Structure 1
Amino acid sequence: MDHLTSRFRRNKRDSPTTPTSQDPSAVFPTTADTKDTKPPLPSLSITTTPLTTPPGSSNGSHSLLPKSPLRSLNHFRTAHKRARSPALARINIPSIMSSLSPVDTPTDEGMTPTEKAEKAKKPQLPPFLKLSDTCIESRFHELTWRERWRSQQGLQNPSPNFQFARVLSPETKILDRYTNIQPWANNRVRLPVPEGKLDYINASPIASPSPLRPDTLPCFNYIAMQGPKVNTVEHTWRMVAQLKSPVVIVMLTDIYENYMEKCYPYFPGSVTQIQEIEVGETDEFGDGFRARVECVSQEERQDGAIQMRKMNLHVDGRGDITVWHLMYRRWPDFGVPKVEDYESFFELMKLSRELNSSTNNPRIIHCSAGVGRTGTFIALETLMREVDEGAMDDLDPTLNEEEHDLVFKTVNLLREQRRTMVQAESQYGLIYKVLRRQWLERHGLDDTTENERASKRLEVYHDPFVEHNG
């Protein structure tokens, strides 16, 4: 009962400047600590200079773009929406972590030499996949405290080159869907616009390497982006025009959820049924950029779970770019995909990889805020490859579960590149659940007792009082 008692014990709240009373450098990795091991980001334009102010008319809506069919419902939302996350309990992370332990596992005591030899031959579940749900919850809280520390340091450090510097220009606010979700100032995609114009778009280049075989498996590259708004549609297509053909866009949200716009219909063939979008008619940036987006074909996969569109982006003076748009419709705004939808979700990942030109060409992944469902997709795809390639088969079963937690390390790396990736605790727990299920299936283990214990440990509960705008 000690570990249960420690879970509900309330300690005095720590200082807001650091997650615990100890030295932050002892708890969180510094830039110097991770500089040599951190993979290079995709070859996209990253800003290290202050933002410039756009003309007064640069943020106006585009009259010829498709209009939202539920524009009359705009009174449901305000200009200061925030992507909400579950409130954190006032706990002391180091103290509770020291009292937690994984679910009890059988020991070798009393076993004969033959039984021990047979046990050694059997594949051993990676230690971090044995963590209890209580320990997984605490690991998620620790991730959140680390991010709060980064944000605090970003406000206190005046250097524009600081790794976690924040975007402070007020001109960007009208371009953000949620006021508290922005890219790090020094890890954002810069639009190719004339000097003196605002080059901001709420999108971050993401590099997600193999945590176990970085030298043999190629690094996955992405662009994590918010769901476009009516005044950022043309910005989105400007960004797409900088990538190599074919370009893959994965959309993990519906256009409207619970009568709220989660993403403006920025692509042809959407709910507006408009088959063509003109880009650049207002010449917002004064550079004469003109393009046209056409829907070439449209089909449904996995019983309607995936809407696949083939589009053509014609850029005047430069030629055509093929764009594959994969819209996934089985991931609810409140919660995670159901078990029966796993197959369609895995098919979505496979399709996006096969349609892409190469791993060096980043796939664009977005939901509504571009952090929750987007981060979960990236983390899952990265770690599921480790299982498929057999990289996890070589893990020492005696390793410390917390120090060698690949889920924690992968999500922390994503958050160093874009704030709040894997936003909700349920999304974080889903990663452990899917990996454990995949590992057991790979090794043909269907032991009823083991699966029952896994279900009890890693079952993800939905909280109807918490909104996750990822």
Structure 2
Amino acid sequence: MDHLTSRFRRNKRESPVTSTPPDPFPASPVTATADTKPAPPSLSITTSPITTPPGSSHASHGLLPKSPLRSFNHFRTAHKRARSPPSAHANIPSIMSSLSPVDAATDQPRTPSRSTKKPQMPPFLKLSDASVESKFQELVWLERLRSQQGLQNPSPSFQFARVPFHETKILDRYNNIQPWANNRVHLPVPEGKLDYINASPIVSPSPLRPDTSPRFNYIAMQGPKSNTVEHTWRMVAQLESPVVIVMLTDTHEGYMEKCYPYFPRDVHGERIEVGETDEFEDGFRAHVSCVSLEEKHDGAIQVRKLNLHVAGRGDIIVWHLLYRRWPDFGVPRVEDHGSFFELMKLSRTLNSSTRNPRIIHCSAGVGRTGTFIALETLMREIDEGAMDSIDGDTSDNNDDPVFRTVNNLREQRRTMVQADSQYALIYSVLRRQWLERHGLLDDAVENERASKRLEVYHDPFVEHNG
């Protein structure tokens, strides 16, 4: 391990990696008019055999050393990279924070379950802040190990094989956030043309019920750049109408571009033309126009109904949901939780079917994007009773569904749930949701208030000066 340690210390911020899930979606037909012509080649992902390294899955990370974790906090780079997150628990709401009481699976109000025996909270939801932070650092360590393996193994079939950076760097917003070569979306373009887009198909199965089919499919994507706008709409054109895009960043934060405005702003905005330069020399032409714009939750959510017209094939409806209250590397404020969970519900309701992947993106397509997917996956576990009565050893990450879910996402796309504050938010939300489901929220609120009063009462400074 010494040779890995010394190698990591020479690189300031090595990026994590993801693994290859099964193909989460087939290429789907789109709505077409009577004069439908043959469609371009289908959107696809790599399906070549893969080789899984030891310790790459959540089932085996217990074999990895944990002690070197704290020594890998500083890595160097000479290129533009996604910013590292701020310190641990900034802006993390307590378990008493506001949360919309909506069932993530059924979209119906939750009814607290009642039983004669008081249910016991799962051990992983009782973890201290320090324990949660330690688990996050283990995730970082696992990713850095995968990244090192990807650099050392030249086989294109290796699970963590890297895409050729010299070919894709002009298309990436951040040079340390790329899809894994064996888990990326391939654009339908003529043979010999670069089919790259910074997007990864994501499947997030139940961490507690492995025999349950995944309820949701996703595409995690970086925020488009000016030179990748047409690539984005080519990808969208291969999905089933209506398509849902969830955008978790504004186009600019401060004076920095986080995402190029790849969509028409309103019904009066200029439509987006696709294929005017015939970049791929295949005659693909399309245009995107805004049909309607509606704001919800006092402007927190902008709902745009877009129309993607593909020449020779017809129209595809695209629901574009822009969420404007989630800061980069941070978490939604307590007062914005209601709008955030309404966003989740809308994205599920407007999608054509669960097999049609929703496109989720922020700026790099990993931090806020990964947190959205992880929360939706784990909220379903509570809503459907999978966490009503579970136990386990909190020191064993295999007994922690949050750790396992995030690790699974990171194996499919690098750096998913990028900030420790985002990781801690998942525990906080699930804790409150569990208490609410079992009708214990009021007791927890009172106990927290009593604890705070006791702390003040026994303050040594107060006693000494009283």
Normalising by structure 1, report the TM-score: 0.74
Q: What is the CA–CA distance in structure 2 between the aligned matches of 1:13 and 1:430, rounded to whole Å?
A: 35
Amino acid at match of 1:205: P
Please list the CA deviations of residues 102-150 of structure 1 after superposition, one character each: whole Å capped at 9, or x if unmatched: xxxxxxxxxxxxxxxx998111111110111101001000000000010
Q: What is the CA–CA distance in structure 2 between the aligned matches of 1:158 and 1:219, rounded to whole Å?
A: 35
Partner-residue secondary structure (3-state), 1:293:
strand
The alpha carbon displacement at 1:42 in A equals: 2.9
Among 15, 25, 42, which residue is 1:42 paired with?
A: 25
Retained in 1: the 8 A contact 2:297–2:339? yes
The alpha carbon displacement at 1:317 in A equals: 1.1
The 5-angstrom pairing of residues 299-318 of structure 1 reads 299-318=294-313
Q: What is the CA–CA distance in structure 2 between the aligned matches of 1:88 and 1:333, rounded to whole Å?
A: 13
Q: Does 1:172 align with 2:155?
A: no
Percentage of identical aligned residues: 75
User: Could you tell me which residue of structure 2 aligns to residue 206 of structure 1?
Assistant: 202
Q: Report the number of matched residues.
A: 372
Please list the CA deviations of residues 68-127 of structure 1 after superposition, one character each: whole Å capped at 9, or x if unmatched: xxxxxxxxxxx94211224999xxxxxxxxxxxxxxxxxxxxxxxxxxxx9981111111
Q: What is the CA–CA distance in structure 2 between the aligned matches of 1:120 and 1:40, rounded to whole Å?
A: 45
User: Could you tell me which residue of structure 2 aligns to residue 429 of structure 1?
Assistant: 424
Q: Does 1:141 align with 2:137?
A: yes
Partner-residue secondary structure (3-state), 1:296:
strand
User: Could you tell me which residue of structure 2 aligns to residue 244 of structure 1?
Assistant: 240
User: Could you tell me which residue of structure 2 aligns to residue 73 of structure 1?
Assistant: none
Q: What is the CA–CA distance in structure 1 between the aligned matches of 2:214 and 2:80, rounded to whole Å?
A: 38
Q: Aligned in 2, Cα 1:281/1:17: closer, same or farther, shift over 3 Å?
A: same
Partner-residue secondary structure (3-state), 1:439:
helix
Retained in 2: the 8 A contact 1:46–1:188? yes
Retained in 2: the 8 A contact 1:42–1:207? no
User: Could you tell me which residue of structure 2 aligns to residue 70 of structure 1?
Assistant: none
Normalising by structure 2, report the TM-score: 0.74
The alpha carbon displacement at 1:17 in A equals: 6.0
The 5-angstrom pairing of residues 337-416 of structure 1 reads 337-396=332-391, 402-416=397-411
Q: Aligned in 2, Cα 1:286/1:314: closer, same or farther, shift over 3 Å?
A: same
Q: Does 1:81 align with 2:77?
A: no
- Point out where structure 2 has 5 or more consecutive residues left out of the alignment: 10-17, 27-42, 49-77, 89-113, 453-466
Q: Aligned in 2, Cα 1:253/1:452: closer, same or farther, shift over 3 Å?
A: farther
Among 152, 159, 165, which residue is 2:155 paired with?
A: 159
Retained in 1: the 8 A contact 2:304–2:321? yes
Among 322, 329, 332, which residue is 1:327 paired with?
A: 322
Instruction: State the superposition RMSD in angstroms.
Output: 3.0
Partner-residue secondary structure (3-state), 2:5:
coil
Retained in 2: the 8 A contact 1:177–1:226? yes
Q: Aligned in 2, Cα 1:383/1:273: closer, same or farther, shift over 3 Å?
A: same
Q: What is the CA–CA distance in structure 1 between the aligned matches of 2:232 and 2:243, rounded to whole Å?
A: 13
Please list the CA deviations of residues 13-68 of structure 1 after superposition, one character each: whole Å capped at 9, or x if unmatched: 9724699xxxxxxxxxx98xxx9xx665333511368xxxxxxxxxxxxxxxxxxx
Among 281, 287, 296, which residue is 1:286 paired with?
A: 281
Retained in 1: the 8 A contact 2:367–2:419? yes
User: Could you tell me which residue of structure 2 aligns to residue 276 of structure 1?
Assistant: 271
Structure showing greater relative contact order (alpha-carbon pairs closer than 8 Å, 6 or more residues apart): 2
User: Could you tell me which residue of structure 2 aligns to residue 190 of structure 1?
Assistant: 186
The alpha carbon displacement at 1:360 in A equals: 0.8
Q: What is the CA–CA distance in structure 2 between the aligned matches of 1:453 and 1:339, rounded to whole Å?
A: 21
Q: Aligned in 2, Cα 1:335/1:400: closer, same or farther, shift over 3 Å?
A: closer
- Point out where structure 1 has 5 or more consecutive residues left out of the alignment: 1-11, 20-29, 50-78, 90-117, 456-470
The alpha carbon displacement at 1:401 in A equals: 6.3
Partner-residue secondary structure (3-state), 1:428:
helix
The 5-angstrom pairing of residues 85-104 of structure 1 reads 85-86=84-85
The alpha carbon displacement at 1:273 in A equals: 5.6
